[in-house]
Structure 1
Amino acid sequence: MSDLLKRRFREQIKIMFGWEPVKPETISERAKEVHVLKRMTNKQDLQAAKAHQRAHQETSNKWRNRRWATLIFANLLFTLSFALDIQILEGALTASRFVGFHLIDLNSALQVMLAHKHIINNLLIGTGTVLVLWVLLGGRTFCSWVCPYHLLAEWAEKIHLFLAKKKLVTDQTMDRRLRTVFWIVFALLALLTGYTVYEAISPTGIVSRALIYGPGLAMLWVLALLFFEVFFSRRAWCRYACPIGLTYGVVGIISPVRIKYKLDGCFHEGDCRKVCLVPHVLDTVIKGRAVEPEVPIGPDCTRCGLCVDTCPTGSLSFEIKGLQKLL
């Protein structure tokens, strides 16, 4: 990895904690050559190339469909295991047993340890297993591929975008550093009160338990969040509040699974940023910001694949670090 990419990666970690992306001060010579060639390209030729590309682009929902199928299957397995009493996957997303082997959500385990003020030995195996899994897959992959609230929020987002198109609602943005603040607040609450306060309001845990054991009054809180996201702020909980997302983002810093951006074929039309759950991770696709011809997307990326499906030129793709891109 070049020094520029290392510096870029450190900046991406800061962005994950709420700092705003900025235009890089230094760009490699290879990237400069590509940027210059793009600026020299005749606008009419560029527009013609875009039109040709779009005319021959096949609409793809490949990664979205794979993700939805995986998410629904994972949560359905919890539900069926309980309903049929087959004991394959017991518990809920926060804490479970897969054929008798303990699995514990990392953020939940952290909350429990802070509340009890010591490391609980029984949590170590389950936590370690989950930690290794999400380090390999990319921490925030949990958000888009497993979290049931994510799917509800994704559908709510479609309603929001429809209403916004009709000019009935507007998207109210907030400071992304709020998520870091919430993470610290809930950690302190667990430490000071001895209770896992966050678990009582976590929409991930509430929806997971509702699917398995039936809905309770806590679902009113989830509906309130979805209402807020439909009418006021698009994807507000996941972007600005959820401590789970930040925990898994940190876990995914060294993940080999990532999305890579290739500068040379990009038209900078911005379709990828329009569909991205966390568009700040795609600031490198903005014209003039790529520091190298190929740039990995940062750890706050949820690996949802929407940008890969949407990109008309294939400039964004999944890859495993050191191996060829995923098909």
Structure 2
Amino acid sequence: MMRWYLHKLAMMFGAQARRPDKREETDAARVMKKFQKTPAESLKRREIIAHEHQYPLVSNKWKYMRWFSIIVINLMFVVSFSWDIQLVEGAMTASRFFGFHMADPTSALMVTLAYKDLVLNLLIGTVTVIILWWFFGGRAFCSWACPYHLLAEWAESIHLFLAKRGWVKDHPFHRGMRVVLWVIFMVLTFVSGLTVYEYINPIGIISRALIYAPTVALIWVVFLLGFEVFFTRRAWCRYICPMGLTYGIIGTAAPVQIKYDLSLCVHEGECRAVCLVPHVLEITKLGYAQNDIDYIAPDCTRCGLCIDACPQEALSFAFRGLDKVI
């Protein structure tokens, strides 16, 4: 069990997904896998998949809930500043909500490294944010609050439209590049005394542009989105963003998780096709699950797209330990 969990954790740092070995596989999973491979179940699975392809059942429940969440959260900053109601002060990287300090952990760490000083308010804000996103699963920030995520999701739709017609092709990078860049940003910040990452952080750039006024820095955001449309699908979120890695580490043992039920899965792969980080859904492949009931790897963004895409309801939001479906 522990080895399998460490493997899922390692995937967040760039390790390739693999099947569990016999020491990691539970008896329940072994029995279920054997049952699913019987001729009768294999035929039934093929029939279900064929029917789903002929009559696709499309749900956008979680997608539209996320879009609403991102828009509302970012509008609170805009309205608070424009109307001077002091509901939320600051921007996405550092703010105060009803007087409570909030600070993005990655940005806070870089400020500390740059100035070689630990500010109490920054520490309080960082701890507050860590507790908040630990509960929901660290990378839930990416899909439920990040303004760049929404733009990148729309850019991805354009990329997929063009790719379907053969006009563009995805050129993936190694996921371990994100870890290397995280270290590079930290080292450069410490050596230079400047928060280097913030100069190219599209999250902060978009947030400040919405709240205060657009600047020439938005050209960089447009370039990133264009790069994702024409060259690499979701490049920033998958391969570059150090904030995503930090939040992933924070949420490794989060109460809110996406639960996977092996007994309901027909392994058609629709969930992986829509996932922002498809490596976390490798367990949905036939023979890859460690248990009959398992939870998606820590790098999961809790976006819910896989839940929307699965008509068998093999995936669902749940409170881990309570086995309560949300």
Q: Same fold (TM over 0.5)?
A: yes
Match of 1:11 among 7, 12, 18: 7
* Aligned position for 1:63: 62
Shift of 1:7: 1.9
CA distance in 2, matches of 1:238, 1:53: 30
CA distance in 1, matches of 2:325, 2:18: 30
- Please state how far the C-alpha of 1:100 moved relative to its aligned partner: 2.0
Shift of 1:324: 3.9
1:50 aligns with 2:46: no
Partner of 1:111: 110
User: SS of the counterpart of 1:253?
Assistant: coil
Aligned mates of 1:98, 1:48 — CA distance in 2: 52
Deviations 1:64-113, CA, capped at 9 Å, x for gaps = 11111111000011011111111111110011111222111111101011
- Which residue in the other structure is 1:311 paired with? 310
Partner of 1:198: 197
1:126 aligns with 2:125: yes
Q: 1:23 and 2:23 equivalent?
A: no
Structure 2 CA distance for aligned equivalents of residues 167 and 46 of structure 1: 30
Other-structure match for 1:41? 39
2:157 alignment partner in structure 1? 158
Alignment of 1:75-114 (within 5 A): 75-114=74-113
Counterpart amino acid of residue 18 in structure 1: G
Q: Which amino acid aligns with 1:89?
A: V
**Shift in Å, 1:53:** 5.9
- Partners in 2 of 1:50 and 1:325 — Cα distance? 28
The CA distance in 2 between the partners of 1:48 and 1:153, in whole Å, is 35
Kindly indicate whether the alpha-carbon contact (under 8 Å) linking 1:190 and 1:196 is maintained by their aligned counterparts in 2.
yes
Moved more, 158-167 or 207-216: 207-216
1:54–1:312 CA contact under 8 A, matched in 2: no
CA distance in 1, matches of 2:77, 2:288: 44
Q: Distance between the aligned counterparts of 2:145 and 2:96, measured in 1?
A: 16
Structure 1 CA distance for aligned equivalents of residues 63 and 102 of structure 2? 26
* Partner SS, residue 264 of structure 1: helix
Q: What residue is the counterpart of 2:252 in the other structure? A: 253
What CA deviation, in whole Å up to 9, does each residue of 1:272-323 have, x standing for no partner? Answer: 0000000011111111110110111111000000001111200011001122
Q: CA deviation at 1:156?
A: 0.1
Counterpart in 2 of 1:276?
275
Q: Is the 8 A contact 1:53 1:313 kept in 2?
A: no
Aligned to 1:221: 220
> Could you tell me how far apart the structure 2 residues matched to 1:116 and 1:214 are?
27
Partner SS, residue 294 of structure 2: strand
Q: Residue 157 of structure 1 contacts residue 234 of structure 1 at CA under 8 Å; is this kept in 2?
A: yes
**1:136-191 Cα distance to aligned partner (Å, 9 max, x none):** 11100000000000000000000000000000001001111100001000000111
Query: What's the TM-score once normalised by structure 2's chain length?
Result: 0.95
Structure 2 segments unaligned to the other structure (5+ residues): none
Q: CA deviation at 1:268?
A: 0.6
CA distance in 2, matches of 1:12, 1:53: 30
Q: 1:28 Cα shift? A: 2.0
Gap runs ≥5 in structure 1? none
With normalisation by structure 1, the TM-score equals 0.95
CA distance in 1, matches of 2:52, 2:275: 21
**Counterpart of 2:239?**
240
Shift of residue 214 of structure 1?
A: 1.8
1:21 CA displacement: 1.0
Amino acid in structure 2 at the alignment position of 1:40 = T
Return the alpha-carbon distance in structure 2 between the equivalents of residues 30 and 100 of structure 1.
50
User: How far has the Cα of 1:57 moved from its partner?
Assistant: 6.7
Change (3 A) 1:55 1:169: closer
Is the contact between residue 317 and residue 325 of structure 1 (CA under 8 Å) also seen in structure 2? no
**RMSD value over aligned CA atoms?**
1.5
What amino acid sits opposite 1:32 in the alignment? R
Matched residues, percent identical? 52
Q: Distance in 2 between matches of 1:210 and 1:78?
A: 11
Deviation at 1:44, TM superposition (A): 3.6
